[in-house]
Amino acid sequence: MLLAVQVFGQSRTVTGVIKDENGVPIAFATVKIRGAKGGTQTRSDGSFSINVPPGRTQLEVSNVGYATQVLAIPDDNVLGVSLVKASTVIEDVVITGYTTQKKSSVTGAVAVVPGSELHDLPVTDVGNLLQGKAAGVQVTAQNGAPGQPSFIRIRGVGSISAGSDPLFIIDGVATDAEQYNMINPNDIENINILKDASSSAIYGARGANGVIVITTRKGHKGQPQVNFNSDYTIQSRIPDNFKMMNSAQKLQYEYDLDYTNPYMSDWLDSIGTATGNPGIDIQSVPIDAVHQKWAQVEQGNTDWFKVLLQQATLAKNELSVSGADDRFSYFASYNNTYQEGIIKSSNYNRNGGASQPNL
């Protein structure tokens, strides 16, 4: 006689509470059965209850920001879990709009300029910081006047009437070119440049000319830090090989071309009136008389480069305070920038500050 016997195990219910290192219950932590399908989440008080099939002896507990734990199920089916905060290395991230992505996973055309390449440069506006830092980004000075912002073009000129300036986002807030120019370059943490059409999908028509996302500095955990930075720069006209004529050389040059400047024209008119020969040519006048008049004109010899131009100074003074603890971070700064132009009587003076408290 053949006797077949089937033995069925019974499932069991495991309960428990999940807390953090400080004994605070963790809500919505994930509890899964190791090696089987099925799982649950903790309640607002950190408690959970889960049915475990026969043959399964381990549970896997995890939560965002905490190290995952694999625990054996005790005989009494009651489990107490204490999760420890995870210490992980964060990969480079790119701010693409309303979210951040790992740099390695971004498929759009994005250029990232880190803060280490932006600080302590003798410039007054953000546009100058980007020169040569990102492919496809063209930065052109407007007119060279002190404090003038630069033209920034991403993917060239997109419109004649509507403008081609990119959209500027500063800490999540859309601004225009005038406002971004007021930012102290040393207060910038990093700059992300969105260059392709995907920026329009995030920001709409305003992002058609590209988007420049600026993230300013925040406080970091540790002792409060007080930083003072002072820069002093001398600026001058770019040297060239052009040598300007003095008065004597210019007068001789005009004489050889049979040309008269206003000073000589008035003199010739007086000679023509006196001699009854209006419209007299300068080369018809005796050379001794011409030289005598030249001597009078040459007394006004002026080096206009020395009159109009100067060696200009750029002075920057900055003070910042930053710090953070487990609940609060702060960053505050004040800066003064004074720039003279190489043309006398032209200058630019800016006083600004920033405050970044975060709870």
* Whether residue 338 sits in one domain with residue 230: yes
Closest to 99 (Cα-Cα) out of 186, 3, 187, 198: 198
- Decide: helix, strand or coil at residue 298: helix
Neighbouring C-beta atoms of residue 320, cutoff 10 Å: 21
Residue 264 forms part of a structural domain:
yes
What spatial distance separates the first Cα and last Cα of the chain, rounded to whole Å?
A: 78
- Decide: helix, strand or coil at residue 272: helix
* Whether residue 198 sits in one domain with residue 153: yes
Residue 162, pLDDT above cutoff 70: no
Residue 289, pLDDT above cutoff 50: yes
Distance CA(110)–CA(196), nearest Å, equals: 8
309 neighbors 344 (Cβ within 8 angstroms): yes
* Whether residue 99 sits in one domain with residue 34: no
Summarize pLDDT for 189-242 with one digit per residue, the tens.
888 888 776 666 677 777 778 888 888 888 888 788 898 988 898 888 888 778
Distance CA(39)–CA(68), nearest Å, equals: 14
Please tell me the chain's helix, strand, coil percentages from 3-state DSSP, rounded to the nearest 5.
20, 35, 45
Residue 345 forms part of a structural domain:
yes
Residue 319, pLDDT above cutoff 90: yes
* Whether residue 212 sits in one domain with residue 101: yes
Residue 188 binned pLDDT confidence (cut-offs 50, 70, 90): confident
Asked whether the CA dihedral 149, 150, 153, 159 is positive or negative, the reply is positive
Name the residue range of residue 284's domain: 247-302
Higher-confidence residue: 276 or 47? 47
Using a 10 angstrom Cβ sphere, with 0-12 exposed, 13-18 middle and 19 or more buried, the burial of residue 137 is buried
Residue 18 forms part of a structural domain:
yes
Report the pLDDT value the prediction gives residue 298, as an integer from 0 to 100.
77
Distance CA(159)–CA(21), nearest Å, equals: 58
* Whether residue 122 sits in one domain with residue 30: no
* Whether residue 109 sits in one domain with residue 69: no
* Whether residue 347 sits in one domain with residue 226: yes
* Whether residue 145 sits in one domain with residue 99: yes
Report the pLDDT value the prediction gives residue 17, as an integer from 0 to 100.
92
CATH code for position 76: 2.60.40.1120
* Whether residue 176 sits in one domain with residue 97: yes
- Decide: helix, strand or coil at residue 253: helix
Residue 3 forms part of a structural domain:
no
Higher-confidence residue: 48 or 266? 48
Domain boundary among 24, 48, 82: 82
Residue 116 binned pLDDT confidence (cut-offs 50, 70, 90): confident
* Whether residue 204 sits in one domain with residue 149: yes
Q: How many domains does the chain have?
A: 4
DSSP 154-197: ESS---SSS--PPEEEETTEEE-HHHHTTS-GGGEEEEEEE-ST
Tell me whether strands 312-324 and 100-102 are parallel, antiparallel or unpaired: unpaired
Summarize pLDDT for 23-34 with one digit per residue, the tens.
889 988 999 988
Query: Is this structure's pTM higher than 0.75?
Result: no
Residue 159 forms part of a structural domain:
yes
* Whether residue 196 sits in one domain with residue 137: yes
Domain boundary among 302, 319, 335: 302
Summarize pLDDT for 324-336 with one digit per residue, the tens.
887 888 899 999 9
Summarize pLDDT for 234-287 with one digit per residue, the tens.
888 888 778 888 888 887 887 777 777 776 777 777 776 555 566 666 777 777
Token pair listed for 211: 């988007």
Residue 2 forms part of a structural domain:
no
* Whether residue 177 sits in one domain with residue 65: no
Using a 10 angstrom Cβ sphere, with 0-12 exposed, 13-18 middle and 19 or more buried, the burial of residue 29 is buried
Report the pLDDT value the prediction gives residue 174, as an integer from 0 to 100.
83
Residue 6 forms part of a structural domain:
no
Q: What is the mean pLDDT of the chain?
A: 79
Residue 349 forms part of a structural domain:
yes
Residue 89, pLDDT above cutoff 50: no
Per the listing, tokens 């005989």 go with 75
